[in-house]
C-alpha cells in the first residue's frame, strides 16, 4: 500500500535523491572549471543562456559565462526576455530562441525568475516536440534556492501564478560561485536570504519533510542568522557569500516534492501576493514569515511547536518553559533580522488594498477553514 503524507511523523518518513541532479559545484571562482565539467557530463553541445536584462546589461557576469561557452564552441545565444514572476510571454519567446539557435541545453544565470522560467521553457519544449526533456545548468546569483526544486512557477495571461512540475525539470547541474554574486543588488541579495530562511523555517513543520532535512534546515537557519548580518557589514567578502549560498542549499535540500504536503503558510501567502501585486518573492517572505511564525504559537500542533522551539538552541537563545513563548521568541528574532537588513515594509507600500485581504486569506486557507479568521487578522496587521 502506498504511503500517504498523513502517515509521516517526526520519526516516520522517506527521503529520495532526485536522480536528475548530477552535481553541485561550489566555491569562489569555480565556474571556470565547473561549467565545462557539467557540459561534458551532460553532453551539452550548444547552450542557450537564460538570464535577466539587468544582469546582462549592467554586469560582466554574462560575458564571463559566454566566454566559457565560446571557448568550448558550446555557445548558442543569450536570452534576456524573462521578467519578474516569469510571464508566459517570455517563456514562449525562450522556447523560440532555444529552437531557433539549435540548442540542446540551457544555462540559467540569475535569481529564481530565470531558473524557474528555464524549467518552464524546457517543459514547453518537451511538450512541443516530444522526446526527452532537455537539461538545465543553474548558476544562481541570489539566495532564492529555486535551483533545488522540480517545480516551475510562472505567470499566465490572466496574471495568475501557475506552475508545472516534473523530476525531469530539476536542474541537472548547479554552480554556486560566490564571485558571481558580487554585482547582485544589496536588497535583492538580502531579501532572497530571508526567502531561504523562509524555506528553512517552514521545513520544520511542513508535513512529510524527512527528519534529516529538518536537521539541514536548522543548520541553514543558524548560518543565515550568522552570515546575513556579516554580509551586510562587509558586502565584498566572497567567503561569507559562499557560506550564504551553501546555507540556501541547506534550506531547500533536494527532495522529491510529491512526498511533501505542499508549501507552508508563509509560502502560500507569498504565492498569492507575489504575482497579483507584483511583490518579489523575497519581499513577501520579509512581510509574512515572522508573523506566520507568531501565528504558529497559537494554532500549530505540539509537535510543530517543539520543532520551531528547537530553533532557539541553534541561535544560542535560552528557551523558556513555554513552547508558545519560545515560538514567539523565534518570530521576534526573525523580525529583528529583517529590520537589521533594512527590509521592513508593509502590504500598503506595495499597493495591496485592505478590501482584498479577505480574498487573499480565503485563497490561502479557505474561507471555511478554522484558521481563516486568524490568518485574516494577521494579514490586517501587515
Instruction: Tell me the pLDDT tens digit for each residue of 208-262.
Output: 888 889 999 999 999 999 999 999 999 999 999 999 999 999 999 877 554 555 6
pLDDT at 3 over 70: no
Q: What is 186-381's CATH topology? A: Dehydroquinate synthase-like, alpha domain (1.20.1090)
Q: Which of 14-18, 44-48, 75-79 has the lowest mean pLDDT?
A: 14-18
- pLDDT averaged over the chain? 90
Place of cell 544565470: 109
CA distance 18 to 249: 14
Rounded to whole angstroms, the Cα distance separating 203 from 193 reads: 16
Over residues 100-108, mean pLDDT: 97
Count of Cβ atoms closer than 10 Å to residue 209 Cβ? 25
Over range 289-293, report the average pLDDT.
97
Q: What is the pLDDT of residue 302?
A: 95
pLDDT above 90: residue 158: no
Q: Distance between CA atoms of 78 and 5, rounded to whole angstroms?
A: 41
Closest by alpha carbon to 84, among 57, 52, 60? Answer: 52
Instruction: Measure CA of the first residue to CA of the last residue in the chain; give whole Å.
Output: 44
pLDDT at 222: 98
Residue from 349, 191, 351, 369 nearest 285 by CA: 191
Q: List, in sequence order, the alpha helices (H) in 17-129.
A: 31-42, 53-58, 61-71, 88-100, 112-129
Q: Is the pLDDT of residue 2 over 70?
A: no
pTM for this entry:
0.92
Which residues make up the CATH 1.20.1090.10 domain(s) of the chain? 186-381
Q: Where in the chain is the domain with CATH 3.40.50.1970?
A: 23-181
Tell me yes or no: is domain 23-181 CATH 2.60.40.1120: no
Q: Band of the pLDDT at 17, cuts 50, 70, 90? A: low
Say if residue 40 is exposed, middle or buried (CB neighbours under 10 Å; 0-12, 13-18, 19+).
Answer: exposed
* Percent with pLDDT over 90 in the chain: 74
User: Mean per-residue pLDDT for 150-174?
Assistant: 82
Look at the block and give the residue holding cell 498523513: 6
- Return d(Cα 113, Cα 78) in angstroms, integer: 15
Amino acid at each position: 500500500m502506498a504511503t500517504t503524507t498523513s502517515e509521516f511523523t517526526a520519526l516516520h518518513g522517506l527521503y529520495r535523491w532526485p536522480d536528475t541532479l548530477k552535481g553541485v559545484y561550489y566555491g569562489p571562482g569555480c565556474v571556470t572549471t565547473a561549467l565545462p565539467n557539467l557540459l561534458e557530463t551532460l553532453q551539452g553541445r550548444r547552450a542557450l543562456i537564460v538570464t535577466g536584462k539587468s544582469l546582462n546589461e549592467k554586469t560582466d557576469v554574462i560575458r564571463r559565462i559566454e566566454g566559457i561557452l565560446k571557448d568550448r564552441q558550446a555557445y548558442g545565444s543569450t536570452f534576456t526576455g524573462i521578467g519578474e514572476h516569469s510571464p508566459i510571454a517570455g517563456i514562449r519567446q525562450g522556447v523560440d530562441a532555444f529552437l531557433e539557435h539549435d540548442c540542446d541545453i540551457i544555462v540559467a544565470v540569475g535569481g529564481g525568475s530565470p531558473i524557474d522560467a528555464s524549467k518552464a521553457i524546457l517543459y514547453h519544449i518537451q511538450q512541443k516536440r516530444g522526446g526527452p526533456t532537455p537539461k538545465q545548468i543553474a548558476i544562481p546569483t541570489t539566495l532564492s534556492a529555486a535551483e533545488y526544486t522540480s517545480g516551475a512557477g510562472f505567470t499566465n495571461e490572466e496574471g495568475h501564478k501557475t506552475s508545472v512540475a516534473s523530476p525531469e525539470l530539476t536542474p541537472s547541474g548547479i554552480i554556486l560561485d560566490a564571485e558571481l554574486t558580487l554585482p547582485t543588488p544589496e536588497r535583492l541579495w538580502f531579501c532572497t536570504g530571508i526567502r531561504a530562511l523562509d524555506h528553512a523555517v517552514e521545513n520544520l513543520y511542513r508535513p512529510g519533510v524527512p527528519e534529516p532535512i529538518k536537521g539541514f534546515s536548522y543548520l541553514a537557519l543558524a548560518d543565515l542568522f550568522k552570515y546575513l548580518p556579516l554580509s551586510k557589514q562587509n558586502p565584498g567578502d566572497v567567503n561569507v557569500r559562499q557560506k550564504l549560498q551553501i546555507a540556501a542549499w541547506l534550506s531547500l535540500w533536494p527532495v522529491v516534492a510529491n512526498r511533501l504536503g505542499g508549501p507552508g503558510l508563509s509560502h502560500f501567502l507569498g504565492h498569492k501576493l507575489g504575482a497579483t501585486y507584483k511583490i518579489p518573492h523575497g519581499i513577501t517572505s520579509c512581510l509574512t514569515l515572522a508573523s506566520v511564525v507568531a501565528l504558529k504559537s497559537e494554532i500549530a500542533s505540539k509537535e510543530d511547536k517543539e520543532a520551531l522551539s528547537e530553533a532557539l538552541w541553534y541561535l544560542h537563545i535560552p528557551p523558556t518553559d513555554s513552547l508558545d513563548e519560545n515560538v514567539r521568541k523565534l518570530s521576534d528574532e526573525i523580525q529583528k533580522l529583517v529590520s537589521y537588513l533594512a527590509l521592513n515594509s508593509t502590504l500598503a507600500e506595495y499597493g495591496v488594498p485592505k478590501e482584498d485581504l479577505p480574498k487573499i486569506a480565503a485563497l490561502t486557507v479557505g474561507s471555511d477553514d478554522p484558521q481563516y479568521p486568524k490568518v485574516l487578522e494577521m494579514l490586517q496587521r501587515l
